[in-house]
Amino acid sequence: MEIGLDVITVFGFFSLVGVLLVLDRKNVEFNYGLIIRRWKHGQYVMDKWIFSHRKFLNAFGTVGVVVGFVAAAFGIVSILYATVLGQQSVSPILPTVGEYQYPSGIVGVPFWFWIISIFVVLSVHEPMHAIFARLAGVPVRSWGVMTFFVLPLGAFVDPDMRKVYRLTLMQKLKIFAGGSFGNFMTAAVVLLVLIASSYIMFGQANVPGGPADVAGLEGTIEKVGSVEITHIGNLSSVLNATESGSTIQVATDRGTYEVVTAANPTTGHGSYIGVTFGLRPEYMAWKESVSVFMQLLKWLLIFNIGIGVFNMIPMKPFDGGHVFEAVFAKVLKSEKAGKTAINITSVAVLGILLFNVFGTGIVKALFI
C-alpha cells in the first residue's frame, strides 16, 4: 500500500510534538494521557499594551458582549429549528488523513487544515480572555496548551476566578464573551481576504468559439439588457429567462456588445453566451497552491464562526454558560440561584443537543 505525503507529514508532526514534550518533561504535567504545559512569563508586555489602549479595549469589549448575546441566540434558535425539522445541525469536526472517511454525522477535515485552523482559533480565543481579565485587574496565573499524548487538544488561560466573580457584571461578560468575539473578528478578516483573493485571482473568460467569443466580448460584464449583473448567479438567472437564439446587449467595463445566445448545453433550457468564471491565466501556474490557499481560508472561516457560536450557547463549561450564569446571578440577586439556573439551563441545552445529534436519526428511522 502506497503511503501518501500527507500521512508522512502527519507522522512527522506527531514525532516532533513527542520529542518536544520529552525534552521539556520537567515543565509538563502528565495526567492519564492528558499533557499540560503552562507558561507564566510575558504578562508585563501584555499589560503594557493593554493599559495603553484601555479606552479602546473597553469599547471593543462592550461590542463583544452584544455580539456574544446575538451569537448565543442564533446558536440556540438554529439548533432548535434544525431539530424541529429533523435535521442534524451539530457535528463533530475531526482531522482525517489520506482517503479515510468518517461515518455520517462526523465532518472530516484534512489534518493540516484542521491543525492550522485550531491553532488560529485558539491563538485568538484564549488571549482575548486574558486581555479582558487583565483589563479588569484580574491576575492571570498562567496560560498553556493541552495535548492527549501527542494530539493537540487546545489552549487555556488561568485567571484568578475568585477575583473574576467579584467583578461587575459587564467586566465578567467582557472576559467570558471575549474569546468568541475574537473568533468572529478573525472570521471577518478571513472573509475579507477571501473576497479580495477571489477578485484578484479569479475572473471572467470567454469559451473559445462561444457566443461571447464570436461577438468579441471583452472586460467584466456589468449589464445584460437593462439588468445589472453583480454576481454569477445574477447572470445565470437572466440567461435562464432568455430564449436561445435571442440577440442581447451585454455591457462590460470595455463597451457594449451584441451577443446572439445559444441553447444551454447543460440544462437544455434558457440560453448560453459562453462565459466562464475561473482562475485568471496569470495564476494558472499556481493553480494547486491557490486551491489549497482558498480551502484553508474556507476552513478558517468555518472553524472561527462555528466554534465562536457554539462556545456562546448557554451551557457550562462553555463560555456562554459562564455568561448566562453571571446574568442569572444578577437578575436573581444570588450567586447560588445563578448557579442553579445555569445548571438547569445546561441540562436542557445538553438534552436538545443530544436529541439533535442522535434523536433525529432515530425518529427518521422509526417513523419516516
- Alpha carbon distance 339, 159 (integer Å): 19
- Alpha carbon distance 17, 14 (integer Å): 5
Q: What is the rounded average pLDDT for all residues in the chain? A: 86
pLDDT of 304 reads: 96
203 falls in which pLDDT band (50, 70, 90)?
low
What is the Cα gyration radius of the chain?
Answer: 26
* Cell 451539530 found at: 90
pLDDT per position as a tens digit, 90-149: 888 888 887 777 777 788 888 899 999 999 999 999 999 999 999 999 988 887 888 888
- Alpha carbon distance 10, 3 (integer Å): 11
Residue type, 335: E
Percentage of residues in the chain having pLDDT higher than 90: 37
Query: Mean pLDDT over residues 60-68, rounded?
Result: 96
Q: Does residue 1 register a pLDDT over 50?
A: no
pLDDT per position as a tens digit, 331-352: 999 999 999 999 999 999 999 9
Please count the residues of the chain: 368
Higher pLDDT, 239 or 276: 239
> Is pTM beyond 0.85 here?
no
> Residue 268 — φ and ψ, nearest 5°?
85, -5
Percentage of residues in the chain having pLDDT higher than 70: 93
Domains, the chain, ranges and CATH?
A: 5-198+289-367 (no CATH), 208-273 (2.30.42.10)
